Amino acid sequence: MLETEQFEARKRDHITYALKTENEAIGESGLDRVALVHEALPEFNFSEVTMTSCSLDEASATPFLVSSMTGGHSQSSAMNLCMARLCAERGWWMGVGSQRRELHDSSARIEWREIRKAVPSAVLLGNLGIAQVIQTEPGIISSLVENLEAKSMIVHLNALQECLQVEGTPDFAGGLESLARLVKRLHVPVVVKETGCGISQMTARRLVEAGVHAIDVGGFGGTHWGRIEGARAPSESIQQAAAQTFANWGIRTVDSVRDVQNACEGTKTEMWASGGVRSGLDAAKLIALGANRVGFAKPILEAAMKGEAALRLRMELIEYELKIALFCTGSRTLNDLRGKVR
């Protein structure tokens, strides 16, 4: 019971601190250095622009993903239901919050069963940390996928966060082998995602060799979990002091996107992008650089906390901004946008 209470408290803390500006690496994603090539005379109408995307062999109305954020505490249900409903309505995918609690508390699975029942058409992606994947049999992870009826399983990498978290488990030995085993035994695609520090080209190549289906760069430039764990740590603790040292640790989103795209080129592994994405124009830049799917976290969390109307408006704005970027680069489709950067 105490373990559950501590877990819930940590997840509530994460939401609270994720909304604080000081825990963002604002302006560090590198997206401000990327410019799309303007087309002054598109030879088609704005109404012809389409955002239709195909990822993991499934078509969707948009290339957008609500990045994994909330889960594992009693106050998350309403917010997750709101996001799932709007994602289904608008053709976004939704990564669920960490399913770690479900490994030791079967009652935690009820929330996702109820959300799945309420929104059967939502495309949901499971989520588990690499430390838990290493320690858990693939069959048990498969049961998490089945409970959620997930499109895929996201395995998140968060080495810095685990080092700085007071309750952290920085036990990553055997991670690559565990991922390769999961890819072979899970009946849905496996996506590997960093949580704000980016993925290098060398790491991406190892992940491609392990057979993962997509790599989400999760680059430096958005919410920084090292800063969050430093804020959560006891005053004058060693974790708090170390968090200040590592406050700017990570590979910028754009740099990581280029690295991972190079590693994935010529393979079946998709490159997804997240980390400081704040608008449809940001998403357009990442798609032009090769991203198959683009993840949003803080902007969606902020809107969802204000209610369904605010969330719908924010999602509509992001979609509208992407369509403008497509039109003003002379791109009818997302594929037409590829490479139109300078």
Over the stretch 250-282, which tens digit does the pLDDT of each residue have?
Answer: 999 999 999 999 999 999 999 999 999 999 999
* 234: DSSP letter: P
Q: Report residue 241: phi and psi, to 5°.
A: -65, -45
Per-residue pLDDT tens digits for 157-204: 999 999 999 989 999 999 999 999 999 999 999 999 999 999 999 999
Look at residue 112 and tell me if it is in a domain. Answer: yes
* 57 CB neighbour count, 10 Å cutoff: 7
In this prediction, residue 80 carries a pLDDT of 92
Per-residue pLDDT tens digits for 24-65: 888 899 999 999 999 999 999 999 999 999 999 999 999 999
Burial of 125 (0-12, 13-18, 19+ CB in 10 A): buried
Q: Which residue range(s) make up the domain with 271?
A: 2-337
Burial of 184 (0-12, 13-18, 19+ CB in 10 A): exposed
Look at residue 342 and tell me if it is in a domain. Answer: no
* CATH number for 283: 3.20.20.70
| Amino acid found at 255 | D
Q: What Rg do the C-alpha atoms of the chain give, in angstroms? A: 19
Look at residue 104 and tell me if it is in a domain. Answer: yes
Per-residue pLDDT tens digits for 325-337: 999 999 999 999 9
Residue 322 to residue 326: CA distance in whole angstroms: 6
| Amino acid found at 323 | K
* 202 CB neighbour count, 10 Å cutoff: 10
Look at residue 205 and tell me if it is in a domain. Answer: yes
End-to-end CA, the chain: 55
Look at residue 22 and tell me if it is in a domain. Answer: yes
Count the domains in the chain.
Answer: 1
